Amino acid sequence: MSAGLTSLIVLLIAAAVGWMAYRHAAHLRTGGRLHSLPTYHGVHAALWVLAPALLVLAAWAPMQSRLIDQAVLATPEGEALPQFEMQRQAILDEARQIAHREIEAGFNPESTTIAPRITEAEGRYGSIGAIGAILVALGSAGIILLRRRDREFRARTAVERWMNGLLLVASLIAIFTTLGIVLSLLFESLRFFKLVPLTDFLFGLSWSPQTAIRADQAGSSGAFGSIPLFWGTVFIGAIIAMIVAIPLGLMSAIYLTQYAAPKVRSVVKPLLEILAGVPTVVYGYFAALTLAPAVRDLGIALGVSSASSESALAAGLVMGVMIIPFVSSMADDSIAAVPQAMRDGSLALGATRSETIRKVLLPAALPGVVGGVLLAVSRAIGETMIVVMAAGLSANLSANPFASVTTVTVQIVQLLTGDQEFDSAKTLAAFALGLVLFLITLALNLVALTVVRRYREAYE
Amino acid sequence: MSSIAADFPATRWTDQAMQSRLRRRYRSESLFKFLGFAAVGISLSFLVFLLGTMIWKGIGGLTLDFLRNSDSTDAATAGVWGALKGSFLAILVTMALAFPVGVLSAI
């Protein structure tokens, strides 16, 4: 019996019990005022039937596949299979596909003989699970129906508790997913730090992630110093991009909040936000194909001999453009939050508008602006696609904007794309890089939020 | 307070010094306003340039066949339908997961 059919039957039982509880409550109502509406009585009963049975089904599913494998291996055909674990697993997978009629015949001849056994075992354990779930549903239905409810029964409160539980589970899913990601980063990084000392990774100046296949190979000693990567990330994301984004974003925000007519503002502000909505891939090839050659030509014209077509400048410029809306909308909000009385006071003393902005509004709005910039930086250094396409791969420790530098995200992409073994320092290095990057952006976000929250309401 | 008064001795409204100071302040005012306008203009021109390049180079290749065909080794018959379908399915799965969980946990 399939899981779908079982769920349907359980659902029907639950609906029937719910209907009966509803009728019962409606009947009780004739005797006086109920605590909860009959509907709540019905929903409450149905939930109590549904939840345990579905739990049984959900718990049985993973157990079932293990039991099926054991049963199949215990049959004479199963014992004849090769003992080598991977080969046996491959045959079993093929046999399962044949049993489900997904393929006609397997690559291994054994799988065809095994297939009927799998069908058998699946039928047996499948019906055990189904019957178990239905029995549980019937059992809870019996308990619910035996406990005749009186008029005082608080069905609505109980249903509310169920709903609260559901909401709690939904929020726990998000939390546990985050926790799972962090933990997997952490454990893989720990494995990496067993191979490469932490101090080498954090303070090493040379990055060349290779592991040797033979001991006497050229370049067999990989170097895992992450300083050049983090320098490249900071150089592109926090220096070049911010040189573009802070003046443009801040001045745009000032102009739009202080000078522009409301009509202009209502048109221009959404247009600026489009900049944040352009897919980063588009920015990436824009940087790589349109901007990078121009930047290289400019570098050569300026007499920089090492001008590369994968320059830090091109990637940083485009990233700065992408960040403009973040800076400008945060600055916009915090300038708008400065009390009107302060602006009026400054203007009344005879200050011009620009003097008011520079001497009164900006100091008052500074925490918000700084917070916005920090958030923008943390976004910029986590940005991947632009730098993968436009920044280089060579880990240079160089402050020359025309030279090619690489970033943490680019290196993670490089380390993890393609066929990789998952026990070498080269692959595990990606997790360590990811962990450090995650910690940096987390710290930046926390600092930004604290700055904004602590100083924001100083004037209200 | 008194030091400020000492630093800035009272000047008449019609004084030469006062007039030139006022001119300077108004000049910086209009410069500041122009800078703000230029910032908006530069940002928007980036957007126009980006979209313009994209449309200019892309519009020729955007035909109905390009949308309908899947990828192919022959560039002339290649299309994005397969890739579009993949993106669309990914969006569906994301919505199916994120919508209930997000809404329920927000409540």
Interchain CB distance below 8 Å, B33 and A174: no
Predicted pLDDT at B55: 82
Give the Å distances, CA to CA, from B35 to A176, A254, A330, A334, A456. 48, 10, 19, 20, 27
Q: Give me the DSSP letters along B39-101.
A: HHHHHHHHHHHHHHHHHHHHTTT--HHHHHS---SSGGG--SHHHHHHHHHHHHHHHHHHHHH
Closest chain A residue to B46 measured between Cα atoms?
Answer: A321
Q: Which residues of A touch B36 (CB under 8 A)?
A: 251-252, 254-255, 258-259
Once rounded to an integer, what is the mean pLDDT over residues B82-107?
A: 82
Q: Which residues of B touch A271 (CB under 8 A)?
A: 44, 47
Predicted pLDDT at B3: 56
Q: Which residues of A touch B105 (CB under 8 A)?
A: 167, 170-171, 173-174
Taking all residues of chain A, what is their mean pLDDT, rounded to a whole number? Answer: 82
Q: Using an 8 Å Cβ cutoff, are A167 and B107 in contact? A: yes
Residue A211 pLDDT level (bands cut at 50, 70, 90): low
Q: Lowest-pLDDT range, A59-63, A250-254, A367-371?
A: A59-63
Cβ contacts of residue A360 below 8 Å, gap of 6+? A338, A342, A343, A345, A346, A351
Q: Give me the DSSP letters along A155-199.
A: HHHHHHHHHHHHHHHHHHHHHHHHHHHHHHHHHHHHHHHHHS-HH
Once rounded to an integer, what is the mean pLDDT over residues A131-160?
A: 81
- Is 0.80 topped by the overall pTM? no
- Minimal Cβ distance to B35: which of A251, A274, A278: A251
Buried b (16+ CB within 10 A) or exposed e, A425-434: bbbbbbbbbb
Residue A410 pLDDT level (bands cut at 50, 70, 90): confident
Interchain CB distance below 8 Å, B43 and A252: yes
Q: How many CA atoms lie within 13 A of A107 on its CB side?
A: 7
Q: How far is A354 from chain B (nearest CA, A)?
A: 5
Residue A459 pLDDT level (bands cut at 50, 70, 90): low
- Minimal Cβ distance to A272: which of B43, B53, B54: B43
Predicted pLDDT at B1: 47
Q: Which residues of A touch B33 (CB under 8 A)?
A: 255, 259, 353-354
- The residue of B8, B35, B46 whose CB has the most chain A CBs within 10 angstroms, and thus the best one to mutate to test that interface, is B46
Size of interface A-B (CB pairs under 8 A): 84
Structure tokens at A219: 């370049």
Radius of gyration of chain B (CA): 31
Interchain CB distance below 8 Å, A170 and B104: yes
Closest chain B residue to A320 measured between Cα atoms?
Answer: B43
Task: Give the separation between CA A248 and CA A262, rounded to whole angstroms.
Answer: 20
Interchain CB distance below 8 Å, B25 and A355: yes
Once rounded to an integer, what is the mean pLDDT over residues B56-78?
A: 67
Q: Which residues of B touch A250 (CB under 8 A)?
A: 39
- Minimal Cβ distance to A170: which of B28, B35, B101: B101
Interchain CB distance below 8 Å, A278 and B100: no
Q: Using an 8 Å Cβ cutoff, are A93 and A69 in contact? A: no
Q: How far is B55 from chain A (nearest CA, A)?
A: 12
Q: How far is B106 from chain A (nearest CA, A)?
A: 8
Query: Is pLDDT above 60 for A1?
Result: no
Task: Give the separation between CA A447 and CA B22, rounded to whole angstroms.
Answer: 42
Identify residue A126 by its one-letter amino acid code. Answer: G
Sign of the torsion angle spanned by Cα atoms A13, A14, A15, A18: positive
Task: Give the separation between CA A115 and CA A108, rounded to whole angstroms.
Answer: 12
Task: Give the separation between CA A224 and CA A207, rounded to whole angstroms.
Answer: 5
Radius of gyration of chain A (CA): 32
pLDDT digit string, tens, across residues A215-243: 555 555 567 788 888 888 888 888 889 99
Cβ contacts of residue A353 below 8 Å, gap of 6+? A258, A259, A347, B29, B32, B33
Work out the number of other CB atoms within 10 angstroms of the CB of residue A173: 16
Higher-scoring residue by pLDDT: B79, A320: A320
Query: Is pLDDT above 50 for A249?
Result: yes
Sign of the torsion angle spanned by Cα atoms A46, A52, A54, A55: positive
Burial of A71 (0-12, 13-18, 19+ CB in 10 A): middle
Q: Pick from A145, A128, A180: which is nearest to A24 by CA?
A: A145
Q: Using an 8 Å Cβ cutoff, are B82 and B70 in contact? A: yes
Predicted pLDDT at A101: 73
Q: Using an 8 Å Cβ cutoff, are A132 and A54 in contact? A: no
pLDDT digit string, tens, across residues A287-345: 888 888 888 888 888 877 766 777 888 888 889 998 999 899 888 888 888 888 888 99
A223-459 has which CATH code? Answer: 1.10.3720.10
Max Cα separation, chain A? 99
H/E element holding A277? helix A262-277
Instruction: Show me where the domains of chain A are located.
Output: 3-153, 223-459
Query: Is pLDDT above 50 for A246?
Result: yes
Once rounded to an integer, what is the mean pLDDT over residues A357-386?
A: 87
Sign of the torsion angle spanned by Cα atoms A105, A111, A116, A119: negative
Predicted pLDDT at A428: 82
How large is the ipTM?
0.71
Closest chain B residue to A168 measured between Cα atoms?
Answer: B105
Task: Give the separation between CA A266 and CA A457, rounded to whole angstroms.
Answer: 27
3-state secondary structure A223-253: EECCHHHHHHHHHHHHHHHHHHHHHHHHHHH
Q: How far is A392 from chain B (nearest CA, A)?
A: 22
- Minimal Cβ distance to A275: which of B47, B104, B107: B47
Q: What is the dihedral of CA A288, A290, A294, A299, to 10 degrees?
A: -10
Backbone angles phi, psi at A176, to 5 degrees: -70, -30
Interchain CB distance below 8 Å, B29 and A352: yes
pLDDT digit string, tens, across residues A415-430: 887 666 666 777 888 8
Interchain CB distance below 8 Å, B32 and A167: no
- Minimal Cβ distance to A324: which of B31, B43, B50: B43
Work out the number of other CB atoms within 10 angstroms of the CB of residue B57: 11
Q: Which residues of B touch A357 (CB under 8 A)?
A: 32
- The residue of B4, B43, B51, B80 whose CB has the most chain A CBs within 10 angstroms, and thus the best one to mutate to test that interface, is B43
Predicted pLDDT at A179: 92
In chain A, % of residues over pLDDT 90: 5
Q: Using an 8 Å Cβ cutoff, are A35 and A152 in contact? A: yes
- Minimal Cβ distance to A271: which of B25, B38, B47: B47
Task: Give the separation between CA A432 and CA A190, rounded to whole angstroms.
Answer: 8
